Amino acid sequence: MEEKESKFDKVAYGVIVGLILPIIGFILSFYVKNRGGAVDFDTYIDMAFKGSVDQQDILIFTLIPNMLMFYLSNFRFNWNNFTKGLVFVTVICLIGLILLTY
């Protein structure tokens, strides 16, 4: 079992998962925050990247899956290399979030 788990403990896998999870988080945030159907997906993208009252909330929500994966990879599975890649991508996303909102 340990050999199978160590196969996933690679920085490249952490980077790939770290890039995919914010996209999934963004899509999930659309469905969670837009339950009433007030805006379509294109308008939601504009709200996230071109500035709106909810911009920061939307962009922070997209990083929640990365935080969950950090918990699992670091504390549950002890995949240190995977976690390095995941944290690297998350920090880059946070820098982008700061640049977009300020």
| pLDDT tens readout for residues 65-102 | 999 999 999 999 999 999 999 999 999 999 988 888 87
Residue 2: pLDDT band with limits 50, 70, 90: low
Whether the per-residue pLDDT at 42 is higher than 90: the answer is yes
pLDDT at 53: 87
Q: How far is CA 7 from the centre of its chain?
A: 23
Q: In the predicted model, what is the mean pLDDT of the chain?
A: 90
pLDDT at 36: 77
pLDDT at 3: 65
Question: What angle do the packed helices 11-33 and 41-49 form, to 10 degrees?
Answer: 120
Whether the per-residue pLDDT at 50 is higher than 80: the answer is yes
Query: Which residues have C-beta within 8 Å of that of residue 70, sequence separation ≥ 6?
Result: 83, 86, 87, 90
Q: Where are the domains of the chain?
A: 2-101
- Please tell me whether residue 78 adopts helix, strand or coil conformation: coil
